[in-house]
Chains A and B, each alone.
Chain A
């Protein structure tokens, strides 16, 4: 966040930049080929974990708008994902069709998340954290205690065979073909949002609310828009998770999920979409690897949150900035490798 000195950074901040895929087209195509070849190289069980990482990446991109960009510490993103997943499963089990169901899940999550944004006009900082905690747990309790509708702790199975044409989404390969572009599109859209007028307003709001108010920013509306958009990404991720597992249960959307998503943001660097995607992949792979030792895994996980917050305040993107970014010769390289944008 500190490369304010170069004029290119300022130009980017005001939005006058070449559109995203146009620069470094060669590297993008190269990385694209690697990503597309991935299903041919690694076995389906590993590809499933990659799918999961990408799905969490989409949800984390949404949370990044809420927490990283707007500074609203929400611990309800897991539950908001859950709202999307349940609406998706109910809709598709009622034979609404795949695409309308996904749309519905995005809308439901966006609306639920937008409600927290409306509340954030009045309920600030500490109180907002507690409100989202209450909402997250209320969602979990409602799901568990209304077993006749939601299946309780046992969850609900996805009754349909999700497919687009001949592409079976139930298989790891089939889902990968859909999840990868969706992740990239989400990343691109979130980047556009970050650089838009509204994104600029949110960053100003995050830095100093009173100054933002003085500059004529409609703070309450900005927060509402941010949370609603963040919720739409969570809804998409929830629907994809339901397709991936062909089943949903409350344990997929509890506080652990929310704290994983927050940890992804912290590791990636709040506000950085590239960092968020990289961190989502790293953390999901690590967590899947640690599943066999649950208690020690939890301990490492908790310690990682604390250590990361203390030593790497701006996460991966901050570290590259601090140690590498200022050396001009590696700067271009890193920028190409990580597709990193100026803040």
Chain B
């Protein structure tokens, strides 16, 4: 029982971060229908940029902010240089181009920062406090708090503000919303940049826990994909819940089953979720099954 509770407590930090990545996927998917395979690498880039700024002598808070902005810029470039040319075409080409973007970003990071693992200091103490036999690290609580706060802010912006309404309009019908004075391409740009910023935040949060290597992106992409699918692709609250669920399942699988597989369980769960329930927990049935 203690093992179970301990697993739950350790999972919350990773859960919040997976949630952030998944919200990035869902946000991009909702407005542009693109599945961004480069999201994991954008997350890693945030950690790297923050690391470099820290080495240059900036205070931690500024360096982390710089990392987040760096990821945002990378996502903005992806949209401006690549995706803007592809929106009129079949969606598979846009998806394929993000695969190319992921390879480019990975090799650029390898060239700039090398393949040796780097890391960032945690945003709070990592010395665990023991409460009733359960060890809780303040840094995990901090990651959880920041991650959930950022997710809630995103939900609020997309759900209630004018720009959020315009984004949702573009998701439903770009042509009609352009008749109402919304520029769909600008909305595509905004949502991809926003998911880049969220990815950067996820990157600076999770780096102290898992470290930085140029090829780490795929290990972060897959739990993110899984979280987005479990919650229902396109649903933002679903992505948040999905992130928590994925972290929990992965931690439990690591604790009780074969730990050698690690992220492998995420792939297995993703295949299962897709076959058993395509629309996830909060997704739209019609959207998931009929969208060609």
Contact = CB atoms under 8 A, between A and B. Distances in A.
Interface stretch (A9-17, A179-187, A298-306, A329-337): A298-306
Interface stretch (B47-55, B63-71, B270-278): B270-278
A166 interface: no
A296 B104 CA distance: 10
B104 A303 contact: yes
B89 A313 contact: yes
B82 interface: yes
Contacts of A299: 103-104, 107-108, 111
Contacts of A313: 89, 93
24 contacts: A73-B92, A73-B95, A73-B96, A75-B99, A122-B275, A122-B289, A123-B274, A126-B95, A127-B229, A127-B233, A129-B92, A129-B95, A130-B274, A133-B222, A138-B271, A141-B264, A145-B258, A210-B292, A298-B103, A299-B107, A302-B102, A302-B107, A309-B97, A310-B97
Nearest to B92: A73
Contacts of B291: 124-126
Contact of A306 (B100, B218, B260, B292): B100
Contacts of B260: 145
A135 B90 CA distance: 24
A19 interface: no
Interface string A126-166: 11011101110110010001000000000000000000000
B288 A305 contact: no
A89 interface: no
A298 B85 contact: no
B106 interface: yes
Given A71-B92, A145-B261, A298 B107 contact: yes
A240 B220 CA distance: 35
A145 B271 contact: no
B129 interface: no
A71 B264 contact: no
Contact of B292 (A124, A131, A133): A124
A259 interface: yes
Given A141-B267, A302-B102, A309-B86, A125 B292 contact: yes
A126 B86 contact: no
A209 interface: yes
Nearest to A306: B100
Sort A-B residue pairs by CB-CB distance and give the 8 closest, nearest first.
Answer: A305-B100, A302-B103, A302-B104, A298-B107, A141-B264, A299-B107, A134-B271, A306-B100
B12 interface: no
A7 interface: no
A341 to B, nearest CB: 22
Classify chain B: how many residues form its interface, as a range: 35 or more
A127 B278 contact: yes
A262 interface: yes
A127 B226 CA distance: 11
Given A302-B103, A306-B82, A137 B97 contact: no
Contacts, number: 125
Contact of A295 (B101, B110, B218, B289): B110
A262 B291 CA distance: 23
Nearest to A139: B267
A223 to B, nearest CB: 12
Contacts of B89: 313
A134 B268 contact: yes
A285 interface: no
Interface of B: 29, 33, 35, 82, 85-86, 89-93, 95-97, 99-108, 110-111, 218, 222, 225, 229, 233, 258, 260-261, 264, 267-268, 270-271, 274-275, 278, 288-289, 291-292
Interface residues of A, number: 40
A137 B233 contact: no
A266 interface: yes
Contacts of A126: 29, 33, 35, 91, 95, 233, 291
Nearest to A313: B89
A112 to B, nearest CB: 13
Nearest to A67: B92
A71 B278 CA distance: 20
A119 interface: yes
B103 A310 contact: no
Contacts of A134: 267-268, 270-271, 274
A75 B90 CA distance: 17
B99 A138 contact: no
Nearest to A138: B267
Contact of B274 (A131, A141, A305): A131
Contacts of B288: 127
Contacts of B222: 133, 137
A35 B33 CA distance: 45
Given A125-B292, A302-B101, 11 more contacts: A119-B274, A129-B92, A130-B274, A131-B270, A134-B274, A141-B264, A296-B107, A302-B105, A302-B106, A303-B100, A313-B93
A134 B288 CA distance: 18
A209 B290 CA distance: 10
B113 to A, nearest CB: 11
Contact of A124 (B99, B111, B289): B289
Given A126-B95, A129-B35, A137-B222, A306 B104 contact: yes
